[in-house]
Amino acid sequence: MEEDRNEEAKKTILIVDDEKPIVDILVYNLQKEGYDTIEANDGEAGIEMAFDKKPDLILLDIMLPKVDGLTVCKKIRNSFNIPIIMISAKDEEIDKILGLELGADDYITKPFSVRELVARVKANLRKAELNNSTSNTKNETEKNATNDKTIRIGELFINLDKFEVKVKGKPIELTLREFEVLRYLANQPGQVVTREALLEKVWGYEYYGDIRTVDVTIRRIREKIEQDTSSPKLLITKRGVGYYLSSKERNQED
């Protein structure tokens, strides 16, 4: 337990928010959990601090002075793969879509439960550590591998080792979260997965968060891999239950 706390204490969280009461609450609770915190009160300072300090996770408000949070998210994501949790008083669907499209890993609205936010911070940090560990292991063993693990479903091709997706031979650019969702579904084709299960298995939540986050991510994946999003052939919705990847024409090579 003490070892885990020491490990957590090494993590630095950048808080970018212009509301001092919110910042004070976050700093107090995150430091109580063993994290180091640094703060920026406008978007311009947030970008500079992210590039200078390279924190392990960023809590980023949307409505910021000088540079808005969505622009900050885009600029940081273009250079670093740091987990970003968007925080905002806005709860419109467009904000959620834009935040996730620009590379945010998560989204929470004010007023929020501090306990829930801390849980999301921990979940995103754990997920980032797992991805880094997996990536490092694959880099070490890749030169000795004779075959890449791939999945083909019709015209969809997924290389699980190289994090590559192609449709009709054309490379598809997915965010890390989008790839993780597609990979999770592809590993169990034809099996319906609930939104809650995706939140737990892909996002790493130990509670049921906002299932709309899953819906937005699914929609973004469809826009990239389907010919007709109104009549998807690959990523299918089971109304009232969840989503699944079609198992037709599937071949797997190990």
Same-domain status, 175 and 110: no
83 within domain boundaries: yes
Instruction: Give the CATH number of the domain where residue 123 resides.
Output: 3.40.50.2300
Specify the pLDDT at position 206: 56
Average pLDDT over residues 69-77: 89
Specify the pLDDT at position 174: 84
Residue 6 has pLDDT above 70, yes or no: no
> In this predicted model, what pLDDT tens digit does every residue of 15-55 receive, in sequence order?
999 999 999 999 999 999 999 999 999 999 999 999 999 99
Last residue of a domain, one of 81, 103, 132: 132
Beta carbons within 8 Å of 212's beta carbon, 6+ residues apart = 93, 96
Q: Where is mean pLDDT largest: 57-66, 78-87, 175-184, 198-207?
A: 57-66
pTM equals 0.62
φ, ψ for residue 97, nearest 5 deg: -60, -45
Instruction: Give the CATH number of the domain where residue 200 resides.
Output: 1.10.10.10
Among candidates 159, 12, 174, which has minimal Cα distance to 82? 12
Pairing verdict, β 36-40 and 12-16: parallel
Specify the pLDDT at position 144: 39
Specify the pLDDT at position 163: 81
Same-domain status, 231 and 180: yes
pLDDT band at 140 (very low <50, low <70, confident <90, very high): very low
Specify the pLDDT at position 249: 46
> In this predicted model, what pLDDT tens digit does every residue of 218-230 receive, in sequence order?
988 999 998 888 8
Q: How far apart are CA 57 and CA 83, in angstroms?
A: 5
pLDDT band at 2 (very low <50, low <70, confident <90, very high): very low
138 within domain boundaries: no
Plot region of 61 (φ>0 → left; ψ -120 to 50 → alpha; else → beta): beta
231 within domain boundaries: yes
* Tokens encoding 16: 């970018």
Specify the pLDDT at position 34: 92
Same-domain status, 157 and 55: no
Specify the pLDDT at position 247: 66
φ, ψ for residue 236, nearest 5 deg: -105, 145
Same-domain status, 127 and 165: no
* Tokens encoding 49: 């601090």
- Counting every residue written for the chain, the total comes to 254
Pairing verdict, β 106-109 and 84-88: parallel
Query: How high is the mean pLDDT of the chain?
Result: 81
Same-domain status, 217 and 152: yes
Same-domain status, 121 and 153: no
141 within domain boundaries: no
83 and 53 Cβ atoms separated by less than 8 Å: no
Same-domain status, 13 and 106: yes
Q: Which domain holds residue 113?
A: 2-132
Average pLDDT over residues 175-181: 84
Same-domain status, 13 and 112: yes
118 within domain boundaries: yes
Please count the structural domains in the chain. Answer: 2
Residue 14 has pLDDT above 60, yes or no: yes
139 within domain boundaries: no
Same-domain status, 84 and 153: no
> In this predicted model, what pLDDT tens digit does every residue of 94-139 receive, in sequence order?
666 667 777 788 888 888 889 889 988 988 888 777 766 554 544 4
Same-domain status, 92 and 114: yes
Which DSSP state fits 200?
I
Q: Which residue has the higher pLDDT, 174 or 90?
A: 174
φ, ψ for residue 38, nearest 5 deg: -130, 150
53 within domain boundaries: yes
Same-domain status, 180 and 203: yes
Same-domain status, 46 and 113: yes
